Structure 1
Amino acid sequence: MKRKTIALCVTGFDWEKESRIVDGVWRTCLDKDINLLIFVNLLRKQPVYTERPYSESILNGESEIFDLINYDLVDGVLILGDTMIRESIIDEVADRAEAKNVPVINVADPDHPLDHNILLSDRNAMELCVRHLVEEHGLTKINFIGGFPGNYETEIRLAAYKKVLEEHGIPFEEKRVGYGRFWRKAYDVTEDFLKEGDLPEAIACASDMMAFFCMDCLKSHGYRIPEDIIVTGFDGIKESELYSPTLTTSRHAYGRAGVEAVKTLERIWAGEEVSRDLYVESELITRQSCGCVPKKDRNEDFYGEQIAFRTRNLEFNHTLIDMNTRLAAAENSEELFADCISGADFFYMKNLYVCISSYFEKSEDDGISADTTRIAEDMVCMLDRQGKVPVRTEFRSKDLVPIKNFLDGEKMVFMAFSPLYYRDDIMGYLAYEPSYVGGSGDLFTTWVLNIANNAGSFYMKNQLKYVVKKLENLYVRDPLTELYNRRGMNSFGEDLVADAVRNNSTITVFSVDIDDLKPINDNYGHQSGDNAICRAALSIKTAMPDESVCCRTGGDEFVVISSRLEKGMEKQYIESIEKELNSYNNESGMPYKVSCSCGFYTVDGSKFESLEKMITLADIEMYKSKTAKKAGRC
């Protein structure tokens, strides 16, 4: 039986909350032999009150990773909808999945319900904290700090607070409620509580971060926690274990939510009837801030953790500085991405593929003219951490990685994908195999964004060089024939002559003029005349030595400047031009013939006077040839 595959959409799967859910999904997939593909935004969803919203280019760059999902390869999709950087992603992913009959489950996102949802009970979690204060500690004066008035999470937690008070016959007082906006405002709210005069016995906060600001305020006014006022939080973030005193809090059972999401998909695959919403209950964690755990001095484990944390951050800084130094000095794209291996080692990746759009790697012109606002269909692998896939191996983005049928191996596949974008350009993505879930957070985001910014700058410089080169060509080249124009002749011809003079080499100037161009224009039109000019130019360029400077100096006039030709060889090159044109005339089927009259003048470098004089002397020889041709036809 073919192994099932789940696609998981999330922002920052190694941040604390998200990593717990993903860890639950991953461990369940590992246990049940299900492939897991994680499509990851790098930047967090911004709070509604932000003063500096993300630009459209950032939103598009982050969102594009979800367009990479190939719904023909997956059997189910899990979305951590509450983390999505753009809300429209939820419906877009759901619509595409359902169009392919792929079931979708939204996890921990009550604001955007889909046909199937795994929900975390806010009411239960808040009730646990308030009930603990009332029943275990016998408190009645309990204040509440919520997030934003009218916010879904705030209102649910406030309702839970009121419910417990009502159940125990404690009257609800509006003065005991404040709104800390899930951040520093909680400090001000706490000060307002203290100014009220009727001191609370406890303050229940709707987030751990607000609880920290609340406790900071209490301590600044000389109040002891929990001896004078008890404080509880909500979320169970890592910092709640580190703050002094450690924070009593309730938290969602994130890991269990991940487990239940996979099990729900299994029931759907089995054809079982599944309810629209499945609620996962929360858990209470009692610590020092309520007095259930006695205060004590920091132990060696705490300081060991702090030292380990600082050491890892220092190691990351050194890795990042070294990588940026190497990236800035990269001469080509192979060098550009080679040092990504050091980052892959730092994050304990089992493998890493750097996948770049062929627009940027195959052709300079493609990178300018193509639509680079989307992930390209054609990709190029610029790095395989394990070295099994050669650099510049081409593959299709619908296959995700440059390994055919990679989901059909002996073991379950655990692979994550993160976008590489620079301004409005989607350059590609990283495909990587983590060793574990969680632990790096903003470090990983910083690393990937540094790769993207350096790569974007590199490709932009390449394209600018190409544009400059193209503009220079327009300045020195004839647009019809792509031979040098008079400016090109004066620049590159003079350089060639100067080199010949320094080395005392021969200098030869050929003067070439198309025969009877006017009758071709008059009788067959200017398009035919242009064709005759182009065929003559191609014949000249093909026949002449490679280092020659070939120029179109007028409507039907050409000049070729060569060096190091053996004297006596000039006529052979003229014959080569005639041979090229005769071959074209015999095969073209045109009602006209293209021919040229040629003349030349050769001088030793030691006797060179001026290029202008040599062109004049070559012209004289060319006109002698043209006159002789006309006399022969009379």
Structure 2
Amino acid sequence: MKKLLCFLGELNIDFQTDLAKALAQTVDKNDCSIDFVVNFNVDVASVLFGELEKRIIYIPDLDSYDGIIICPDTYGIPGLDEMIGNYLEKNAHCPVVSVRVEDDRFYSVLYDDYIPMFEMTEHLIEKHHLTRICFMTGRMELSDAHVRLSAYLDAMKKHNIEVTPGMIFYGDYWREKGDEALEFFLTKNEERPEAVVCSNDYMAIAVANAAIKRNLRIPDDIVITGLDDIDEARYYIPSITSIHPSTEQLADKIITMLKNVWSGNEQDKISKLPLENIYRNSCGCKKDIDTSQFQKLYLEKELYVAALNFSPYFGLEFENVDTFEELVRAVHLRLAYKAYGSPDDFGTIFFCMCDESEYNKEDAVEKHLNCTEYMYLKAIISGDTVSPHDIRFKRSELIPEEYRRRSSSLFIFDLHSKDDCYGYIAIQNDNIEKVKNIIKPLVFSINNALERIKMYSENQAINQIRAQSYNDPLTGIPNRRGMERYTTRLMERLRYSDEKYCLMSIDMDGLKYINDTFGHLEGDRALTAAANLLNDAKPDGGIICRTGGDEFVAIFISSAEKDATDFIARVEDAIKAANSTGEYQYDLSVSIGYEFCNKDSDMLMSLHIADNKMYESKKKKKKNRKD
């Protein structure tokens, strides 16, 4: 079986997801396997973080592969395309195919952008009788941007239409410059442009949004076209006239080229694929709205909304983890218990961490920037299960060979801060499209958590403060934050069992009387005594927390009424013994209410029920003291 490697950027973008899916299907049909090494745009992160993100290219062992695929125009980190090209030129001993960007050092599969872009421009001239046609380029450091601009210029020249400097705006293939581009066209030309031809759909949609903001009607006031035929272009109202590239044809051509090279057959260095012009509403060719796309649009929107609602909780749930083991449990809990789609959508996640013993060598500083030669498989998350491991393996395998599934692609994501490389996660997945919107925030949140864990482990003072943050400074028992940490772990345990737990609301009686009569220092002493008595009486594995003022909460695994009543009896006996010593000028007393819960219970509602029972207990007490 031939083994392929693909360097891909920004997996959440439509083209990249479609290409990954098409490649996975095509290699499987051709008895091959493929690994994807994925990098992310880090515009909002530090320069140093971006430099370490680039080093993901050093994770795979190039000699392990029979063919390598690069996608230079998908990399969001400046200079990464050049870095990968130079690295492969020097170190790759198998055929390399560059996708959509010509590189004379390798084989290249290109879309034939020139003819469809020429025809698109000519279509506006001949079919719609437009002459004031402006053009928004792509990133001019890429060859395809020059090809598309040349096609536009040649079509305009053929029809003797002058192109002035104010008719060309230099874009970047992304969304941010749509407003700037339209403003440029409107102010640099005496008459309003009749059309804007954009080098891709992202820019076309951005220009369309800018036009709508200025109350310009599309296509009545201004025509807008794009290229790539992304889903968003089809859904947009009005739908965007575009140029359709087939990722299936692209994947087939890539594999065909590689097979020719492997077999020793003649193979041209450059292969070009045709594109299809799709004329829609935004140029005026269609008047009706294609409602058949709305169902898919709705489903896409649901995935985006789910991702937006889901991803912010990574930071919240990972904030309290102190160890790698806790982080893995938190990731599993977030993916499996609080579902984003189905837990199975993520496939199998492998946590592959660097071998710290290799950092003890003389070149440790440099090694901290790259993954180690040997890695440790520390944990696996698969659907509803999470399992710790401690398997040492050679990094060239990416994951231990026994865990490889023949028909599933492997996606590699680097784990690092701006200073240190921690390892990587490998996701073995049959359809990465289902989770494409959540992977980036997941990886970045894991990175942040690993950086905090490293900082805590290296700084004992911070570690001590961190531990103290979970405990109430007066009584020494866990505080509300400690309770949240406990319940997170409890929910993970209950996820895989039918166990129940007892939730108790506990209130110290008469604290106001003690404070008013004997002073707040004595009130603090009474609170501490009550906390100690409660803590000593709790069942094994349970927790007593002070949640504020004179309020406590007890939680422990149980489904038996006797466990709750036994706990209450132990507390009452301990309080009776303490009061009999004569140590206090008042009687210690607590009121308790409880509710049994399972994994589907609403904890806040259950605590409210326990509160009400506690207050009923308080009312029934007949004591000769002033509360």
Measured against the shorter chain, the TM-score band is: 0.5 to 0.7
Quote the offset at 1:228 in angstroms.
3.3
Quote the offset at 1:458 in angstroms.
0.4
Query: Is the Cα contact below 8 Å between 2:332 and 2:386 reproduced in 1?
Result: no
**SS of 1:391's equivalent?**
strand
Quote the offset at 1:466 in angstroms.
9.8
> Match of 2:182, as an amino acid?
T
Matched, 1:123 2:114: yes
User: Residue by residue, what CA displacement relative to the aligned partner does 1:425-455 show, whole Å, maximum 9, x if unpaired?
Assistant: 1110001112314354453111101011101
Matched, 1:77 2:68: yes
> Match of 2:392, as an amino acid?
E
Matched, 1:224 2:217: yes
- Where does the alignment leave 5 or more consecutive residues of structure 1 unmatched? 47-51, 470-634
Structure 1 vs Structure 2 CA RMSD: 3.5
Distance 1:80 1:148 in 2: 15
Query: Is the Cα contact below 8 Å between 1:180 and 1:186 reproduced in 2?
Result: no
Give aligned-pair identity as a percent: 21
Query: Is the Cα contact below 8 Å between 1:375 and 1:428 reproduced in 2?
Result: yes
Give the match for residue 277 of structure 1. 270
Distance 2:329 2:363 in 1: 22
Q: Following superposition of structure 1 onto structure 2, how do residues 399-414 of structure 1 map, counting pairs within 5 Å?
A: 399-404=397-402, 411-414=406-409
Distance 2:181 2:34 in 1: 44
Distance 1:262 1:242 in 2: 31
Matched, 1:171 2:167: no
Q: Following superposition of structure 1 onto structure 2, how do residues 81-480 of structure 1 map, counting pairs within 5 Å?
A: 81-84=72-75, 85=77, 86=80, 87-98=82-93, 102-110=94-102, 112-147=103-138, 152-167=143-158, 169-174=159-164, 177-182=167-172, 183-191=175-183, 193-194=185-186, 196-296=189-289, 301=295, 304-305=298-299, 308-309=302-303, 311-317=305-311, 321=313, 323-342=314-333, 346=340, 348-359=345-356, 371-386=367-382, 390-404=388-402, 411-438=406-433, 440-441=435-436, 443-465=438-460
Q: Which moved more, 1:136-145 or 1:427-436?
A: 136-145
> Match of 2:33, as an amino acid?
N
Matched, 1:60 2:51: yes
Give the match for residue 32 of structure 1. 30
Distance 1:368 1:460 in 2: 18
Cα distance change, pair 316–53 in 1 and its aligned pair in 2 (3 A): closer
**SS of 1:212's equivalent?**
helix
User: Residue by residue, what CA displacement relative to the aligned partner does 1:330-351 show, whole Å, maximum 9, x if unpaired?
Assistant: 3532222123334655471221
> Match of 1:339, as an amino acid?
A
User: Residue by residue, what CA displacement relative to the aligned partner does 1:359-417 show, whole Å, maximum 9, x if unpaired?
Assistant: 18x9999999894222112322221124697522222222221344x56x6x3341111
Q: How many residues align?
A: 448
- Where does the alignment leave 5 or more consecutive residues of structure 2 unmatched? 465-627
> Match of 2:130, as an amino acid?
L
Distance 1:189 1:80 in 2: 27
Q: Following superposition of structure 1 onto structure 2, how do residues 523-538 of structure 1 map, counting pairs within 5 Å?
A: none
> Match of 1:444, as an amino acid?
I
> Match of 1:458, as an amino acid?
I
Query: Is the Cα contact below 8 Å between 2:61 and 2:396 reproduced in 1?
Result: yes
Distance 2:110 2:316 in 1: 46
**SS of 1:234's equivalent?**
coil
Cα distance change, pair 198–65 in 1 and its aligned pair in 2 (3 A): closer
Quote the offset at 1:162 in angstroms.
2.2
Quote the offset at 1:121 in angstroms.
2.4
> Match of 1:356, as an amino acid?
M
**SS of 1:268's equivalent?**
helix
What is the TM-score of this pair, normalised by structure 2?
A: 0.64
Query: Is the Cα contact below 8 Å between 1:415 and 1:434 reproduced in 2?
Result: yes
> Match of 1:81, as an amino acid?
P
Quote the offset at 1:267 in angstroms.
0.9
User: Residue by residue, what CA displacement relative to the aligned partner does 1:157-202 show, whole Å, maximum 9, x if unpaired?
Assistant: 22101222344x3333326622152455443443454454434443
Query: Is the Cα contact below 8 Å between 1:39 and 1:65 reproduced in 2?
Result: yes
Distance 1:188 1:350 in 2: 42
Distance 2:204 2:213 in 1: 14
Quote the offset at 1:281 in angstroms.
2.1
> Match of 1:417, as an amino acid?
I
> Match of 2:160, as an amino acid?
I
Query: Is the Cα contact below 8 Å between 2:60 and 2:395 reproduced in 1?
Result: no
Distance 2:436 2:401 in 1: 28
Query: Is the Cα contact below 8 Å between 2:456 and 2:462 reproduced in 1?
Result: no
> Match of 1:452, as an amino acid?
N
**SS of 2:433's equivalent?**
coil
Give the match for residue 589 of structure 2. none
Distance 1:331 1:201 in 2: 60
> Match of 2:74, as an amino acid?
T
> Match of 2:319, as an amino acid?
A
